[in-house]
Structure 1
Amino acid sequence: MAAASTESTITASAGASAVAGQYTVTVDALATNHQLISQAYTDQDTTSIGSGTYTIAVNGTTTEIAVNELTLTGLRDAINGSGADVSAFIVENDGAYHLVLSAKTAGTDGAITVTPVLAGGTAPAMVELQAAADTRVTLGSGANAITLTRDGTTLTDVIPGITLTLSSASVGKTATITVSGSNADVRTGVSAFVTQVNAFLDAVTQLSSYNADTGETGVLFGNSRLQQIKGELLTTITAQVGGLATGMNSAVQVGIRLGTDGKLAYDNTVLEAAVNEDRERVVRLFSTMGIATSPYVSYLSSTSETQVSDAAGYTVQTTQAADRARLTIAGGELPETLADDETLTLNNQTVTLTAGMTRSQVIAAINATSADSRITATLTGADGTGTGNYLTLTQADYGATEYVKAVSTLAAGGTGIGTTLVTAGNPGAGNVGRVGKDVVGTINGQAATGVGQVLTGSEGAAKGLMLQVSATAPGDLGTVTFTRGVGGVIDRLLEYVTRAGDGAISNVQTTLDANILSLDDAITRGEASVTREVARLRMQFNAMETALSTYKNQSSQLANLIAGLPTYSLG
């Protein structure tokens, strides 16, 4: 089970793969939906926006809408009926009407681009009403904390096995997530797993059914691919899981078996004994996990391309540790109290300081805006380390793309920042700056991509394996043993089955679509053939009618000729 210390604003639930412990999560920002708004119109159902096309692009998908003298209301309805990933509505304000587009997908993935090609009317000129922003959370605390961005408010991959649900009240809050091991949770998870698999098997049976009495069939009766998927699923569940020790590397060993009815069943006694003996091994049997030998390496996630490691695991080596950008104002110590009012701009965020503020109050005022500026203030030595009375500004996030920018309204005195912009990379005379760095290294001896503290395998067996590396110095960081349990293998199978374009279901759909097109083409050809045959028969009928009429005329003429012949009598 999982519990959050700020349960009213951040809720946490644990799956079977959750690892017992305490985790600190700070919600820095919540994802927002991108919104655009038009200029004001005096009406919504009279003024024409013109004719042409109105194109909407969201997350790589483009939808083109044909426009023919539509009004604002007509365009709204056309957008909502187009299937575009936006909602359109009209807002009235003091007799003025505005068209608003709101992305259905939260975060930067839902950013909207509109391209109107309209003429002959008053086309809507859209401007941004609300920017698209991702959820931003900080995992951990202190110098080694990392900041992650996600596109929603339900987060499933921040802490492995934990689902975090956020609300608007979560922003700025820090929660301690406590995950406690519970054998009952594991048993419940296995039971739910069996139930869900059986529900899928029931669906397959229904879709492929045949009733000999009525002749009725399921919609996918006779589809061999459906039966293959069913077989692959059952084989996956009962097969041995690579990378796990003998004795706990198959679902059969925890009491799961295939019943005579073709569905899964489990022996609760066997499951209970297995969980009581070694809960963590049962969890690993069903979960996708990475176990690191170094305390400075943590498993974050993987992809369907990541391969299971052998018992030795994947080696992790770094040649550069991640670091955060830092700027120390070393021209002089921060005054005990400020003599003048001063306004700072730190990473485009304003901090207002007033005369009489103490050092600690200045530090607190700067840190009060950290959620937005991503800068924290401390008092250090002149070189930015240790203790002292020099103002040091440190970027909250690790990485080469992170930065510290500072400027003040005071040319001299006060914080000492000055009216000339100073940065971690260009600290100015007398100051000390340090740019941020991405971790650089390899996983399994092959290339990996570093972004901040996150190192991701980019080729080979470890491709897609994502690790957090919190070490402050480069070197050999041991190994990570990656295993893909029954649940992970099924996820991989379902990813292939449901994948757009070349997945199993997509291929079946393509085949069915091709068959439908072929039948449509056959029907069209058949209809054309019938039409030609009808035309031929009509021509023959008309020709027969003409010939019959001619024969009737000839018969009439012959009758008249015969009637006009002289008659003779023999006497």
Structure 2
Amino acid sequence: MGISSPGIGSNIPVDSIVSKLMAVESAPLADYDKKSASYLAQVSAFGNLSGALGSFQTALAGLTSVSSFQTLISAPSDTTVMTATASSTAQPGNYRVNISQIAQAQTLASTGYKSTTAAIGLGGKTTINFSLGTTSGGTFGIAGLPLGASLTSGGLSPGSLSINNTAIATDGSTRSARLLADAINAKSTTTGVSAKAAATATSATLFGAAGVSSFGNVDTSGGGTYKLTVGGVEIAAQGAGVAAGAAGGVTAAALDAALAPTTAVGRALADANITVTGTAAGGDLQFLNADGSNIAVAEAVEGSVTGGIGNSGTANIGSSTTAVGSITLVSADGSPITVGGTDPGKAGFTAGVGGAYLGASFAADSSRTSGNIVIDSSNNTLQGIMAAINKGNFGVTASIVSDGATGTNAKPNHLILTSSATGASSTMKITLAGSGGNPPEPDLVTLLGYDPGGVQNLSQKASAADTLATVNGIAVTSPSTGINGAISGISINALKVGSSSLSVSKDSGSLTTSVNGFVKAYNDLSGQIAQLGAYDPETKTGGPLLGDTTLRNLQASIRRQLGTSITGLQGTSLTNLSQIGISFQKDGTLSLDNAKLQKAVTNNFNDIAGLFAAVGHGSDPDVKFVSSGTNSKAGDYAINITQLATQGTLQGTAVLPAETVIDTDTTWTVTLNDTKPATLANTATISLPAGSYNPSQLATLLQSSINGVSAFANAGATVSATIGDDGKLKLASTSYGAKSNIHVATATGTDISAAFGAGASVDGLDVAGTIGGYTASGSGQTLTGSPGAPVDGLKLTITGDTTGSRGSFGFSQGYAYQLNSLAAGYLGAKGAITSRTTGLNNSVKDVAKQRDAFASRLSDIEARYRAQYTALDTSIASMNTTASFLTQQFAALAKQ
């Protein structure tokens, strides 16, 4: 029977011997583990370095732009009136701003409708055109009727008239349009409504009609007397005993002679503010008073008199008539006017809410979009019209509002139209046209027809208005609540009517914070680098990256960049950090001398940015810096332009006539800034309202119609239409470059040749040229340095109108910009830290493989040891058995 357990037969400690032998054999495993731990410690250390460098880069990100160092503080004294922001181009100073009007959009409302889904009209196809523009001339308000005749004797009793719920102070003395206007104007601050009295005029038929005089020769031969007065001025008089037509008698011809401007009567009338038109002899004599005062025409007769006004050869018993004027109410802000009171009819008005443009004209604004909708039997309801307008997306939004009226005959639903933008140029004009020679639907015209210079079937609830203000006494206007350009580099946001001062000063606090942020970011990184690569002589231990070349190279690169002066700066004396108080300490950190920094802020505020950010300045003001790339090198580069960027155009060849007629149902297909291959969204069909247009109106119509296409607007594509000095129409894409193009084709109706003749489209070109003699690629007006050159990634905008040499362009990269780029290079996917971390991780994997292979060999060694010692154990056990047997045998032999 064999031995079942090692050492039992021989007493040899096989397990102990093998275990000790394997402990010796396994010793290299600890080396593998130690090497792996070392690599992992370095990976962790590089992770810490990466984090610190990332934090450094984040801190620098806000310091690489000029705006971080050239901010200004704009402080209004009254922030409820306005707010303001200042850019780096603003000039410090103090300004006084007075805001008298806030911009608003126009709002129009229809009359009431019972249902929002009931058909309006018979469903005939009607094209409705919306255009936006400005009104000029005239006023917005209510034109009153002539004042009641009883006003001249009894006046206007108190409470008879109210404007916008404010009672107008009238009484028995309010007997003329002028006095009523004065009473209304006394309350204009409260009501927002002023009054203008129309000129008072006597009846056009008072002295005749149809060119025939009705003034009879005065006869006082019967012993009577006659006197004619106008506005209290004696015009003519005739004593007793004068026969009709006798010398010195009062006749139509004598009246005309007396009314001459150079006579005493003429001068007296002028002093009374009364002017004369026509003649008594011609039967059209009238007297007018421009200020709206009453004009009383009276004949005073005593005794027997014949002749006079409307009297020839018959007895004149005397006469008296008073001409009374009318007034017009004017809304200060174009809002509806509410008229009320106990007897507004005496003042010439009807109680209620109203208002319309009076004597105004409308001019479309070519910079604003216009558009068309088609209404037919499929959408001729309030809801359908609202949806069509909103879908058009051409600067007008529609909604339906209910006024809450109830009852059988109630019509509570109103279509509300609002311009999408504020400003005086957002006033609407809505025209309607039929199709196929048919007129537009009358019910749709009643609903939507609106022309500030004509019929206004919609009522204006809010007028289109600009923001009006003065800045240091200079009047400024803005279509929005933002006022830009009034003060260079400053944007003002008007909040309400009022006054405020505005202080603009250098934001030295933000600049100081930015500089301190730079110093802190560097010191934080420097401390992390020192910790990772440090050596402790007491413990004789080093940091995980002690002696690492990547760490040393990073540290050396940062210090080298900070110690090098900035090149490429033009017109500045600041080229290094020491000039603003930043210097290295003995321990390698940076310190900041705040006194020296403040001195630099005071003397070189605008130049400090160049020490930190990427800055570009050209000697040609039309060559502007856009951006740079990581491979762009600082320096001065000569700019040479061989081709300027151009716009895609369609140039007309025919001089436009005085009027161009656009037929009904005219549509043109427009392709704007199309690509290769073509993109469907870059082509649209526009509808042109039928009508007769002068050249300026035609240009405005085309520009606004094309710009009103929502697909074009969404893509940022617009056009400009202009009439040249030669009278020809030119249509141009506002974009520049090879992607700029405009093509127009006739779809239906009037042919495009009516506007352009035989004109052809010409596509735009990209800018072309060199930067510093190196090739550059053009895209629109942007010229970009080509890869591989020092100007790689340098982007410049080239405008102006000259080719050839365009001067020099200085480009510099400040310290923050350089260090940010350096950090990006170390942290990028192919950066040094990433490469080192990848290499270390691969080394850990290799060590793991080597350890696994060695561990596998240890198993074989242990098996061999066990086999050898087991065999030895067996041999010794066998020999022990033999020895025992022999001993027994020898003992037995000895006994024998």
Which of the five TM-score ranges fits, normalised by the shorter chain?
0.5 to 0.7
Aligned with residue 268 of structure 1, among 594, 611, 619: 594
Aligned with residue 844 of structure 2, among 516, 520, 525: 516
Match of 2:638 in 1: 315
Residue type of the alignment partner of 1:535: A
The answer (yes or no) to whether the contact 1:208–1:220 under 8 Å persists in 2 is yes
Q: Secondary structure at the match of 2:805?
A: strand
The Cα offsets for residues 25-64 of structure 1, whole Å up to 9 and x where unpaired, read as: xxxxxxxxxxxxxxxxxxxxxxxxxxxxxxxxxxxxxxxx
Query: How far is the alpha carbon of 1:246 from its aligned partner?
Result: 8.7
The answer to which of 215-224 and 266-275 deviates more is 215-224
Residue type of the alignment partner of 2:667: E
Partner Cα distance (1:251, 1:305) in 2: 23
Map 1:357-436 → 2, pairs under 5 A: 359=698, 360-369=700-709, 370-372=712-714, 374-381=716-723, 385=724, 388=727, 390=729, 392-407=730-745, 409-410=747-748, 412-413=749-750, 415=752, 430-436=758-764
Match of 2:67 in 1: 14
Partner Cα distance (2:867, 2:652) in 1: 101
The answer to which of 202-211 and 364-373 deviates more is 202-211
Alpha carbons of structure 1 residues 243 and 364: separation in structure 2 relative to 1, 3 Å: closer
Match of 1:544 in 2: 872
Match of 1:531 in 2: 859
Partner Cα distance (1:521, 1:174) in 2: 71
Runs (5+) with no aligned partner, structure 1: 1-11, 23-172, 419-426
The answer (yes or no) to whether the contact 2:533–2:545 under 8 Å persists in 1 is yes
Residue type of the alignment partner of 2:722: T
Residue type of the alignment partner of 2:793: G
Partner Cα distance (1:223, 1:524) in 2: 28
Counting aligned pairs with the same residue, the percent is: 23
Alpha carbons of structure 1 residues 331 and 493: separation in structure 2 relative to 1, 3 Å: same
Match of 2:769 in 1: 441
Alpha carbons of structure 1 residues 386 and 561: separation in structure 2 relative to 1, 3 Å: farther
Partner Cα distance (2:796, 2:612) in 1: 21
Match of 2:556 in 1: 231
Partner Cα distance (2:878, 2:655) in 1: 123
Match of 1:254 in 2: 580
Q: Secondary structure at the match of 1:324?
A: coil
The answer (yes or no) to whether the contact 2:668–2:752 under 8 Å persists in 1 is no
Alpha carbons of structure 1 residues 403 and 202: separation in structure 2 relative to 1, 3 Å: same
Query: How far is the alpha carbon of 1:380 from its aligned partner?
Result: 3.2
Partner Cα distance (2:640, 2:70) in 1: 26
The Cα offsets for residues 432-478 of structure 1, whole Å up to 9 and x where unpaired, read as: 22121111111112322222211122254333322111123322111
Partner Cα distance (1:246, 1:332) in 2: 54
Q: Does 1:195 align with 2:555?
A: no
The answer (yes or no) to whether the contact 1:317–1:442 under 8 Å persists in 2 is yes
Map 1:82-161 → 2, pairs under 5 A: none
The Cα offsets for residues 62-91 of structure 1, whole Å up to 9 and x where unpaired, read as: xxxxxxxxxxxxxxxxxxxxxxxxxxxxxx
Alpha carbons of structure 1 residues 566 and 254: separation in structure 2 relative to 1, 3 Å: closer
The answer (yes or no) to whether the contact 1:363–1:377 under 8 Å persists in 2 is yes
Match of 1:240 in 2: 565
Partner Cα distance (1:338, 1:559) in 2: 141
Match of 1:499 in 2: 828
Match of 2:27 in 1: none
Alpha carbons of structure 1 residues 354 and 483: separation in structure 2 relative to 1, 3 Å: closer
Alpha carbons of structure 1 residues 568 and 238: separation in structure 2 relative to 1, 3 Å: closer
Q: Secondary structure at the match of 2:758?
A: coil
Query: How far is the alpha carbon of 1:554 from its aligned partner?
Result: 4.3
Query: How far is the alpha carbon of 1:320 from its aligned partner?
Result: 0.9
Partner Cα distance (1:376, 1:416) in 2: 22
The answer (yes or no) to whether the contact 1:329–1:417 under 8 Å persists in 2 is no
The answer (yes or no) to whether the contact 1:314–1:479 under 8 Å persists in 2 is yes
Match of 2:164 in 1: none
Query: How far is the alpha carbon of 1:509 from its aligned partner?
Result: 1.9
Partner Cα distance (1:549, 1:338) in 2: 126
The answer (yes or no) to whether the contact 1:341–1:355 under 8 Å persists in 2 is yes
The answer (yes or no) to whether the contact 1:17–1:283 under 8 Å persists in 2 is yes
The answer (yes or no) to whether the contact 2:719–2:733 under 8 Å persists in 1 is no
Q: TM-score, normalised by structure 2?
A: 0.39
Larger Rg: 2
Partner Cα distance (1:513, 1:417) in 2: 76
Partner Cα distance (1:387, 1:17) in 2: 47
Aligned with residue 353 of structure 1, among 684, 687, 698: 687
The Cα offsets for residues 359-417 of structure 1, whole Å up to 9 and x where unpaired, read as: 43443231133434554333334xxx558573x4433332224433445532x516569
Query: How far is the alpha carbon of 1:260 from its aligned partner?
Result: 4.3
Match of 1:293 in 2: 619
Residue type of the alignment partner of 1:231: A
Alpha carbons of structure 1 residues 401 and 417: separation in structure 2 relative to 1, 3 Å: farther
Partner Cα distance (2:532, 2:483) in 1: 48
Partner Cα distance (1:265, 1:207) in 2: 22
The answer (yes or no) to whether the contact 2:667–2:746 under 8 Å persists in 1 is yes
The answer to which of 535-544 and 178-187 deviates more is 178-187
Partner Cα distance (1:387, 1:174) in 2: 36
Partner Cα distance (1:387, 1:376) in 2: 24
Q: Does 1:344 align with 2:669?
A: yes
Partner Cα distance (1:567, 1:254) in 2: 115
Match of 1:455 in 2: 783
Partner Cα distance (2:561, 2:765) in 1: 42
Residue type of the alignment partner of 2:834: S
In the alignment of these two chains, the number of paired residues is 389
Partner Cα distance (2:721, 2:597) in 1: 56
More relative contact order, 1 or 2 (CA 8 Å, 6+ apart) = 2
Q: Secondary structure at the match of 2:735?
A: strand
Match of 1:475 in 2: 804
Residue type of the alignment partner of 1:400: A
Residue type of the alignment partner of 1:186: L
Alpha carbons of structure 1 residues 354 and 460: separation in structure 2 relative to 1, 3 Å: closer
Alpha carbons of structure 1 residues 380 and 362: separation in structure 2 relative to 1, 3 Å: closer
Q: TM-score, normalised by structure 1?
A: 0.59
The Cα offsets for residues 320-357 of structure 1, whole Å up to 9 and x where unpaired, read as: 11112122465796945552153635343434426447
Alignment RMSD: 3.9
Alpha carbons of structure 1 residues 393 and 528: separation in structure 2 relative to 1, 3 Å: farther
Q: Does 1:487 align with 2:832?
A: no
The answer (yes or no) to whether the contact 2:766–2:780 under 8 Å persists in 1 is yes
Q: Secondary structure at the match of 2:551?
A: helix
Partner Cα distance (1:561, 1:356) in 2: 143
Alpha carbons of structure 1 residues 544 and 401: separation in structure 2 relative to 1, 3 Å: farther
Residue type of the alignment partner of 1:271: L
Partner Cα distance (1:387, 1:377) in 2: 20
Query: How far is the alpha carbon of 1:489 from its aligned partner?
Result: 2.3
Query: How far is the alpha carbon of 1:522 from its aligned partner?
Result: 3.5
Partner Cα distance (1:285, 1:453) in 2: 29
